Amino acid sequence: MLSFKKIFWLNVFIVIIIAFNLRAPITTIGPMVDAIKNEYGLNSTFIGILTSLPLMAFGSISFIVGYFSPIRAVIVGIFLIFIGELLRSYVGIYGLFIGMLAIGCGIAIANVVLPSFIKEKFPKQMSSIMGIYSFILSVSSIAGIALATPLLHIFNLPLAMVFWAIFAFIALVMYFPQAKNGRFFRTKKPSSKQVSILKHPTTWKITLFMGFQSFLAYSLFFWYVEIITEKGFSEDFATNMLLFGQLVAMPVSLFGPLLLGKIKKEYHTSYIAVLCAMYAISFGILFLCDSKIMIILGAFAMGFPWGGVFGIVLLFIAQKSHNAQIAARLSAFAQGFGYLIAAQGQWIIGVLHDKFGNFSGSIFMLFVVGIIVNVVGYLSYKSEIIK
């Protein structure tokens, strides 16, 4: 019989190992693009489709996840990530695309369910556990980017891609026995009251907050290197700036939600406003400046909201829900609709670049979206709890 303390730390470890699987399997593909092109004979158009598949899955699958059993949903999500990593590595070109789609579906499921799991298992430590969760997401993002090239030097492409299946397997091994014995969600019954979250203004405020911050985050993941390169810097420098921004994001992702839970309530608005405003400041620097020192400063400023805002969105999903069932449904809708908003960023930036011949229009658009994030973040914080 496990003690309460052991169960607590077991649940924390499960959050950590599942979260580690939610970014690295897709961020590792960016540095491997040339190797994938050479291996499968793909052009840039097909590479663009390949990298967009996970985001499309995020936006479509997330809507329905909250209406299924959280226990089974997590198992299905991890299993899809594991199988997807095998498919994309060893089943040829069709497996490459199907595997990426399966990974995206698996990540979407876990993205939605984990905030509900955290609210259920850590009702008094939500800020701390959300901080750990968002921190591990940042670690996973960096690990995928930083280890991609070394893995290609050590292994061939299939082995370099399937490497991340190790962590999905560990997550399955750790989670499945706990789910099977009924330990998860066994202390509380589902609420009999059916709440229409779509009619509640809080749902839409948090959804827009989720959508526009994701719009910025994923636009940066896919376009930041090219934006910096077009300013006359080397691709290595641009990639280093991407990693630098992520390194800055790591401690912010860990301590951001924790800090929000610890500081006095009258300072919450100022904290959220400053964090969200950093996006607009960083894009303003990127729009107006071309010097190396200012690019570094812009990447530094960008890291704060890049690491902190997503954790605050997840915290709001948990805090603004009366119970775990509402949190699961709110998470499903906010992330589903939010990622559909985010998916528009890549093609809009591409169209603007083709129209103007540079990224100036795109950067200005991102600056405006940064201001919008500030507004909807404030509205989300002030919104009422969904009961």
Q: What is the pLDDT of residues 304-329, one digit of tens each?
A: 998 888 878 878 888 888 887 788 78
Number of structural domains (the chain) is 2
The answer to whether the CB of 366 falls within 8 A of the CB of 306 is no
Q: Would 271 be classed as within a structural domain?
A: yes
| 230 and 311 together in one domain | yes
Whether residues 157 and 31 share a domain: the answer is yes
**Percent over 70 (pLDDT), the chain:** 91
Q: Would residue 333 count as lying in a domain?
A: yes
> How many angstroms separate the CA atoms of 294 and 282, rounded?
10
Range(s) of the domain holding residue 315: 193-387
Residue 217 has pLDDT above 60, yes or no: yes
Q: Are residues 258 and 174 in the same domain?
A: no
Least confident of 77-81, 163-167, 239-243, 266-270: 266-270
Residue 1 lies in a domain: no
Do residue 287 and residue 359 come from a single domain? yes
**Domain-embedded: residue 264:** yes
pLDDT at 5: 73
Q: For residue 183, what pLDDT is reported?
A: 52
**Statement: residue 6 has pLDDT above 90:** no
Q: How confident is the model at residue 167 (pLDDT cuts 50, 70, 90)?
A: very high
**Is residue 331 within 8 Å of 115, Cβ to Cβ?**
yes
Last residue of a domain, one of 138, 167, 188: 188
Neighbours of 41 (CB within 10 A): 9
Q: How far apart, in whole angstroms, are the C-alpha atoms of residue 102 and residue 54?
A: 8
State whether 169 and 214 are in the same domain.
no
202 in the same domain as 127: no
In the chain, the amino acid numbered 339 is: Y
pLDDT mean over 324-337? 81
In 3-state terms, what secondary structure has residue 321? Answer: strand
pLDDT given for residue 365 in this prediction: 94
Residue with tokens 């790591």: 250
Question: How sure is the predictor about 192, in pLDDT bands with cuts at 50, 70 and 90?
Answer: very low
Domain boundary among 138, 161, 188: 188
Same structural domain, 67 and 149: yes
Tell whether 151 and 207 lie within a shared domain.
Answer: no
Q: Kindly tell me if the per-residue pLDDT of 356 is higher than 70.
A: yes
Residue 121 domain-assigned? yes
> Is the residue at 104 inside a domain?
yes
Q: Note the pLDDT of residue 2.
A: 57
Which tens digits make up the pLDDT trace of 15-48?
899 999 998 998 888 778 778 888 998 876 677 6
**What is the pLDDT at residue 179?**
66
How far apart (Å, rounded) are the C-alpha atoms in residues 286 and 387?
Answer: 42
- 110 contacts 78 by C-beta, under 8 angstroms: yes
Q: Residue 250 belongs to a domain with what CATH number?
A: 1.20.1250.20
pLDDT of residue 115 exceeding 50: yes
Q: Judge if 259 and 275 occupy the same domain.
A: yes
Q: Evaluate if residue 219 carries a pLDDT over 90.
A: no
Question: Quick check: 190 pLDDT over 80?
Answer: no
Q: How many CB atoms lie within 10 A of CB 92?
A: 11
Q: What is the pLDDT of residue 187?
A: 45
How far is CA 306 from its chain centroid? Answer: 10
Q: Is pLDDT at 372 greater than 70 in this prediction?
A: yes
Task: Check residue 166 and give its pLDDT.
Answer: 95
Sorted by sequence, the CB contacts under 8 Å of residue 166 that are 6+ apart come out as none
- Helix 324-342 / helix 201-230 crossing angle, nearest 10 deg: 40
* pLDDT value of residue 281: 93
- 183 and 274, same structural domain? no
Does residue 108 lie within any of the structural domains?
Answer: yes
Q: State yes or no: pLDDT of 142 exceeds 80.
A: yes
Single out the residue in 188, 207, 227 at which a domain terminates: 188
Long-range contacts of 45-52 (CB under 8 A, 24+ apart): 48/346, 49/97, 50/96, 50/97, 50/100, 51/26, 51/222, 52/343, 52/346
Shared domain check, 233 and 96: no
Lowest model confidence (mean pLDDT) among 99-103, 155-159, 178-182, 373-377 = 178-182
User: For 153-175, what is the mean pLDDT?
Assistant: 92
Tell me the C-alpha to C-alpha distance, in Å, between residue 172 and each of 149, 175, 201: 27, 5, 37
Residues 164 and 48 in one domain: yes
Grade residue 186 by pLDDT with cuts at 50, 70 and 90: very low
What does the pLDDT read at residue 188? 47
HSE-up (13 A, CA, CB side) for residue 362: 27
Q: What is the mean pLDDT of the chain?
A: 83
